[in-house]
Amino acid sequence: MAETRQAETHGFQTEVKQLLHLMIHSLYSNKEIFLRELVSNASDAADKLRFKALSDSALLGDDAELFVRVSADKDAGTITISDNGIGMTRDEVMTNLGTIAKSGTADFFSKLSGDEAKDSRLIGQFGVGFYSAFIVADSVTVRTRAAGVAANEAVEWHSKGEGEFDLRAIEKAQRGTDIILHVRDDAKEFVDEFRLRGIITKYSDHLSIPVQMPERDDDGKLTEWQAVNSGQALWTREKSDISDDEYKEFYKTIAHDFEDPLLWSHNKVEGTQEYTSLLYIPKRAPWDLWNRDQQHGIKLYVKRVFIMDDAQQLMPSYLRFVRGLMDSNDLPLNVSREILQDNKITRAMRSGSTKKVLSLLSKLAKDKPEDYQEFWNTFGTVLKEGPAEDHANQEKIASLLRFASTHEDNAEATVSLDAYIERMPEQQDKIYYIVADSYEAARDNPALEIFRKKGVEVLLLSERIDEWLMSHLTEYKEKAFQSVTRGDLDLGDLEDDAAKQQQEELENAFKDQAERFSNALGDKVKSVRATHRLTSSPACIVTDDNDMSTQMAKLMEAAGQKVPETKYIFEINPEHALVQQVVALEDEDKFAEWAQLLLDQATLAERGSLKDPAQFVGRLNRLMMELTNGKLS
C-alpha cells in the first residue's frame, strides 16, 4: 500500500502546456472567471451524480444533500472549492486533468498567433474550464473520490501548472472533489471570502445547487455553512423577474463564454407538451463550429433535474451554434439517449425550439439588420446546411440566407432572397445564381455577360457548401432557382420574340461551324452550339441539365469519391472577332489547334484549372509565335 501512495509524475499533453501558458498570459485582466469555471464544474459534478443516482440510489449514501462549498484561508494563502458530486476515478483524473479531450485541439493551437490580444479572444472561444485555476494559482491540488468508490481509493492530483503533474492515492472520507488553489502573489485579493461571495452572487446565483460559504464567529472559526446563492434555477423563474444581466451571466456560465450572447429566448410551452426552453445565440463562433461532430450546446433537464449535455436530438445540426437548455415536464427521469432518439416528446421539443430559433433570427434580421449581418458573417455557413437537413422549414431558412450578388459589387454576402425578388423585373420568373471557387471567379465568369447586359441580377456563390445548398434549394416563394452555367439558357420573358427569333437564326447560321468544332474536338466535349450567354468572351462551357455541376464534382473529389468525368457543352459566340477569324481558317489542323485553345480558355474560366496545363501553355506559345512571326513588335 505504501508504494501506491508515492506520487507519480506525469507530463501534460503538449496542448495543455500551451493552453496553460496562454491562459496565464492572456487572461490576466479577467482573473475572477476562475471561480465561475470551478463552481460550474462542481455544480455539473453534482448534476451528474443526481442523474446517476436515479438508477442507483445507493450512490448517494448518507450524503444526499448536494452542495458546493467555497472558502478562503488567509494564513495559508489558499482558496478551496469543494463538492460532494460525482468525483473522479484515477483514470478520469488522468484524462480530464492531464489532456484536452477535444478533437481538433492541435489544429486549434496551430492557429494561435503569439499576439496576446488576438489569442485571448481565441482562448475564450476554446473554453478554459478547469485549467483557468492557474490564472490565480501557482499550484493547484485536486483531491477527489468518485461516487461508489472506497475511501482509500481516492486520488490526489497536484501541479504547478508548468510541464507536469503528480498523482498519488490518498484516503478521503467524503465523496466528491476538493480543489485547493495556492494563490499567486499578484492575485491575493481573491483570498478573501467577502470578495469571493461577490463573485459567486454575480456568476452563480442561478445555479440550482446551493453554493455555500462559511459563517464565522469573531475569532474567524467556522460556525456553519450557508448558501450564498438564491438556488433557484434561472429558467424556472418568471421572465419578467429576470434582468438582462442575469440572462447574460447565466449564458456565460453554461456556455463557458466570455462575451455576452447576441440574443436569447426564454419560453414556457404549455399544452400537450410542457417544457421550458432557454436558448441563446452566441456572438462568436466556437472554435470547432465547422466540425459537424461538434457537440451540441443544449442541455436537457427533466423536471429541473439535469439529464445530459449535448442533447443532439433537441436541436438540428444546422443550428448547432445555439446554446442553452430545455427542461421537460413530460419525459421520464430515466430517459437515455436511445429513448430520446425516437420519441414523440423530444420531436415536439425539437420542432418547437427550431421554430423558435428561426423566428428569433427573422426578427433580428427585420429589426436590427446590422446585428443580423454580424450573425450571418459568423454563422451563415452553418445555417446553409439547413435547407438540406430540414425540409419542413426550408422556406423560412431560405429567407434567412444572405448572398453576394452582381447588384452589390462586393464580396460580402448581404443580399436576401426577398431583396432579390423585390428587384426582379416583372418579366423575370427565376432566381439566377452561379457557384464558383471564389467570389472573383463567380463575378468574372463569362456566363454572366448576358445578365449584365440585360441588367438581371445574379447571386454569386463561392463557399464550399454552396453547391450542396443549391442542390437542395429548388425554389423560393414559387420562383425556381436557375444556375447560369447549367443547361439551356432560358431567359423566359426577359427576351422578347424578336430577340428569340434572332437567336434562332444565329444558331442555324452557325450549325455547320458548330459541327466543325465538334469534329475537331471529338469526345472532349458533349456538344457544341452557338451561345447567347456571351457578349464579350469568345466561348464558354456549361453543364448539361442532367450532369453533375463543376462545383459538385469538385466537392465530391475533395471528399475522396470517384466522380465520372463531366463532359461540357461548349458554347461559342459567333459574333466575337476571334471566333470569326478562327472559322475563316481553311487549314483544318490549324482550326483544330484554335478550337482546342478556345475550349481550354473556357474550361479555365469555369473550372479554375485544366487537366493538362502544360499542353495548353505549349499550344498557346506555338500559336503566339505563329502570329508574331517569331518577332514581337
511 carries a ligand binding annotation? no
Under the criterion CB under 6 A, does residue 88 sit at the interface with ligand ATP? yes
Q: Which stretch binds ligand ATP (CB under 6 A): 37-45, 152-160, 461-469, 496-504?
A: 37-45
* CB-based contact 254:325 (threshold 8 Å): yes
39 carries a ligand binding annotation? no
291 carries a ligand binding annotation? no
In angstroms, give the least distance from the CB of 173 to ligand ATP: 17
Burial of 80 per CB tally in 10 Å (0-12, 13-18, 19+): middle
- Fill in the per-residue mask, 609 to 628: x = in contact with ligand ATP (CB under 6 A), - = not in contact: --------------------
96 carries a ligand binding annotation? yes
Under the criterion CB under 6 A, does residue 42 sit at the interface with ligand ATP? yes
Give how far Cα 215 sits from Cα of 120, 228, 430, Å.
37, 10, 72
**What are the start-end ranges of the E strands in 454-538?**
459-461, 475-476, 479-483, 525-530
- Return the residue of 23, 45, 279, 431 that touches ligand ATP, per CB under 6 A: 45
- Return the residue of 77, 129, 148, 487 that touches ligand ATP, per CB under 6 A: 129
- Return the residue of 13, 31, 130, 330 that touches ligand ATP, per CB under 6 A: 130
In angstroms, give the least distance from the CB of 605 to ligand ATP: 47
352 carries a ligand binding annotation? no
37 carries a ligand binding annotation? yes
- Return the residue of 86, 135, 315, 335 that touches ligand ATP, per CB under 6 A: 86
Q: Which is nearer to ligand ATP, 131 or 481 (CB)?
A: 131
Q: Which amino acid is at 24?
A: I
- Return the residue of 20, 22, 51, 83 that touches ligand ATP, per CB under 6 A: 83
C-alpha angle 543-547-548 in degrees, rounded to nearest 5: 90
In angstroms, give the least distance from the CB of 127 to ligand ATP: 3
In angstroms, give the least distance from the CB of 128 to ligand ATP: 7
Under the criterion CB under 6 A, does residue 513 sit at the interface with ligand ATP? no
CB atoms within 10 A of CB 499: 13
Cα separation, 315 vs 307, whole angstroms = 16
- Return the residue of 18, 41, 212, 483 that touches ligand ATP, per CB under 6 A: 41
Grid cell locating 23: 491562459
Residue 259, helix vs strand vs coil: coil
217 carries a ligand binding annotation? no
Q: Which is nearer to ligand ATP, 227 or 604 (CB)?
A: 227
Q: Which is nearer to ligand ATP, 160 or 407 (CB)?
A: 160
CB atoms within 10 A of CB 4: 10
Q: Which stretch binds ligand ATP (CB under 6 A): 125-133, 207-215, 318-326, 585-593?
A: 125-133
Nearest position to ligand ATP, beta carbon: 129
- Fill in the per-residue mask, 234 to 263: x = in contact with ligand ATP (CB under 6 A), - = not in contact: ----------------------x-------
Half-sphere CA count of 382, side-chain side, radius 13 A: 22
Cα separation, 225 vs 84, whole angstroms = 14
Give how far Cα 530 sits from Cα of 220, 309, 567, 586, 597, Å.
94, 60, 17, 20, 17
103 carries a ligand binding annotation? yes
98 carries a ligand binding annotation? no
* CB-based contact 477:398 (threshold 8 Å): no
- How far is residue 289 CA from its own chain's centroid? 3
In the block, residue with C-alpha cell 463550429:
289
- Return the residue of 177, 253, 537, 550 that touches ligand ATP, per CB under 6 A: 177
**For the chain, how big is the Rg over CA atoms in Å?**
32
Q: Which stretch binds ligand ATP (CB under 6 A): 80-88, 220-228, 417-425, 503-511?
A: 80-88
Cα separation, 579 vs 575, whole angstroms = 7
23 carries a ligand binding annotation? no
Q: Which string of b and e fits 108-131 if b means at least 16 CB within 10 Å? A: bbeebeeeeeebbebbbbbbbbeb
Cα separation, 534 vs 510, whole angstroms = 15
Grid cell locating 70: 467555497
Q: Which is nearer to ligand ATP, 69 or 607 (CB)?
A: 69
128 carries a ligand binding annotation? yes
In angstroms, give the least distance from the CB of 87 to ligand ATP: 6
Grid cell locating 477: 416563394
Q: Which stretch binds ligand ATP (CB under 6 A): 41-49, 211-219, 230-238, 364-372?
A: 41-49
Q: Which is nearer to ligand ATP, 147 or 491 (CB)?
A: 147
In angstroms, give the least distance from the CB of 179 to ligand ATP: 7
130 carries a ligand binding annotation? yes
Under the criterion CB under 6 A, does residue 127 sit at the interface with ligand ATP? yes
Q: Which is nearer to ligand ATP, 89 or 414 (CB)?
A: 89
41 carries a ligand binding annotation? yes
Give how far Cα 159 sits from Cα of 123, 176, 445, Å.
21, 19, 59
φ, ψ for residue 550, nearest 5 deg: -55, -50
Q: Which stretch binds ligand ATP (CB under 6 A): 78-86, 333-341, 413-421, 438-446?
A: 78-86
* CB-based contact 135:24 (threshold 8 Å): yes
120 carries a ligand binding annotation? no
- Fill in the per-residue mask, 89 to 118: x = in contact with ligand ATP (CB under 6 A), - = not in contact: -------x----------------------
Measured in residues, the chain has a length of: 633
- How far is residue 119 CA from its own chain's centroid? 19
Number of residues that bind ligand ATP (CB under 6 A): 15
127 carries a ligand binding annotation? yes
Q: Which is nearer to ligand ATP, 83 or 547 (CB)?
A: 83
Burial of 566 per CB tally in 10 Å (0-12, 13-18, 19+): middle
In angstroms, give the least distance from the CB of 139 to ligand ATP: 17
Cα separation, 220 vs 544, whole angstroms = 84
Q: Which amino acid is at 56?
A: D
Grid cell locating 255: 456556455
Pairing of strands 568-572, 539-542: antiparallel
Cα separation, 389 vs 394, whole angstroms = 9
In angstroms, give the least distance from the CB of 191 to ligand ATP: 20
Residues belonging to the binding site are 37, 41, 83, 88, 96, 102-104, 125-130, 177, 337
Residues at the site binding ligand ATP, with contacts judged by CB under 6 A: 41-42, 45, 83, 85-88, 96, 127, 129-131, 177, 256
| Binding site as annotated, residues for ATP | 37, 41, 83, 88, 96, 102-104, 125-130, 177, 337
